[in-house]
Amino acid sequence: MAKAQKSTIRLSGDDRLYYFINDAILLIALLVVAYPLIYVFAAAFSDKNAVVTGKVVLWPVDFSLEGFKTVFGYKAIMTGYMNTIIYAVVGTLVNVTMTLLAAYPLTRKDDMPGRNLIMYLFTFTMIFGGGLIPTYILMQNLDLIDKRAVLIIPNAMGVFHLIIARTFLTQSIPNELYEAATIDGCSHFKYMLKIILPLSKPLLAVLVLFYAVGHWNAFFDAFIYLKNPNLFPLQLILRDILIANSIDPTTLVDPETMEKKLGMAELLKYAVIVVASVPVWCLYPFIQQYFVKGVMIGAVKG
């Protein structure tokens, strides 16, 4: 049998120039994004003197774990990790549940009267808010101050994510599936559980990623509403570590002592970034696959 000849596509000079410029632009964009991350990792694993003197460029100089030893030397660091994991897991579960429960009825044109008005009221909250002081008074009246629920209940649903979910369900889930399900006696809840959720894996992945990252990086609300150190999330603990190792030049006379403190302060900045970011970077590869998959997973395609 004659071997099948491979078809080759000849590019014109203009095409080659286009691809060359396109690849060059993408390479520059990659370097702009990747270099800060590489530098942070290199600085975090370098000696503090090398960081202060600017010797770190692409890889660690005088490899050292001093920054991480200092960070994890604080007993509160593990408490902060556990608290943040609790806030992220429970908060994300509540967020995704509330978002889907709000988005699904807003897609039912015939079964949800006044849905446009309700959507308008949701959108109104994106533009206008009550302000910090009224919000704090509200949290105080609800007896949520200095409790874990204060980081979960007030932010149980994001309107921006609601819009994403509503748009996805409207444009990507055929109404014929609902009609077929109702003929078989399927209720709204069962239809959402058995049909909507299996077809919404890309949406769920996006919501989980956005909400989880938001909870993981939560700082301001915890700073305002929490007083008990045992409830502090990781971001507050890391802030306290940075403040404890910061320097005041007016209180240091000895140049050698000041140089050591400055070096440790700079080293801790990068170590703290790595400690706070690595868990999110580890989570992303398990979710990103759904961003490129087909929306109609398992659905009837005609």
Question: What tens digit of pLDDT does each residue of 268-283 get?
Answer: 888 888 888 887 777 7
Domains of the chain: 83-243 (1.10.3720.10)
For the chain, what is the radius of gyration of the CA atoms?
26
**Does pLDDT of 289 surpass 80?**
no
pLDDT of residue 297: 35
The answer to whether 218 and 239 are in contact (CB under 8 A) is no
Q: How far apart are CA 124 and CA 25, in angstroms?
A: 40
**Does pLDDT of 299 surpass 60?**
no
**Does pLDDT of 99 surpass 90?**
yes
The answer to whether 158 and 124 are in contact (CB under 8 A) is no
Question: CA torsion sign, 69 to 268 to 79 to 36?
Answer: negative
DSSP state of 205: H
Q: What is the pTM of this model?
A: 0.76
Task: From residue 210, give the alpha-carbon distance in Å to each of 1, 174, 197, 236, 296.
Answer: 55, 26, 18, 20, 22
Q: How far apart are CA 22 and CA 125, in angstroms?
A: 41
Say which range, 23-32, 135-144, 193-202, has the weakest mean pLDDT.
Answer: 193-202
pLDDT of residue 250: 59
Question: CA torsion sign, 128 to 130 to 132 to 135?
Answer: negative
The answer to whether 88 and 216 are in contact (CB under 8 A) is yes
Question: CA torsion sign, 204 to 207 to 213 to 214?
Answer: negative
Q: How far apart are CA 97 and CA 108, in angstroms?
A: 18
- Residues near 302 by beta carbon (within 8 Å), at least 6 away in sequence: none
User: For the residues 153-160, what does the mean pLDDT come to?
Assistant: 89
Q: pLDDT tens digit string along 10-50? A: 777 777 888 889 999 999 999 898 888 888 888 888 888 88
Using alpha carbons, select from 295, 283, 255 the residue that is nearest to residue 84: 283
Higher-confidence residue of 277 and 261: namely 277
> Quick one: what percent of the chain has pLDDT higher than 90?
14
Q: How far apart are CA 151 and CA 126, in angstroms?
A: 19
Opening angle at CA 26, ends 22 and 27, nearest 5 = 115
**Does pLDDT of 86 surpass 50?**
yes
Say which range, 101-105, 129-133, 248-252, 290-294, has the weakest mean pLDDT.
Answer: 290-294
Using alpha carbons, select from 245, 296, 300 the residue that is nearest to residue 269: 245
User: For the residues 212-231, what does the mean pLDDT come to?
Assistant: 89
User: For the residues 210-234, what does the mean pLDDT come to?
Assistant: 89
Burial class (CB in 10 A: 0-12, 13-18, 19+), 232: buried
pLDDT of residue 186: 82
Q: How far apart are CA 189 and CA 45, in angstroms?
A: 51
Residue 296: phi, psi to the nearest 5?
Answer: -90, 65
Here the tokens at position 206 are 């996006």
Higher-confidence residue of 258 and 172: namely 172
**Does pLDDT of 298 surpass 70?**
no
* Confidence bin at 288 (pLDDT 50/70/90): low
pLDDT of residue 81: 86
Q: Which amino acid is at 95?
A: N
Higher-confidence residue of 209 and 27: namely 27
Q: How far apart are CA 277 and CA 184, in angstroms?
A: 48
Average pLDDT, the chain: 81
Helix count and strand count (H, E) for the chain: 14, 0
* Confidence bin at 79 (pLDDT 50/70/90): confident
* Confidence bin at 179 (pLDDT 50/70/90): confident
pLDDT of residue 258: 66
**Does pLDDT of 141 surpass 70?**
yes
The answer to whether 173 and 196 are in contact (CB under 8 A) is yes
Angle between helices 201-216 and 159-172 (to 10 degrees): 170
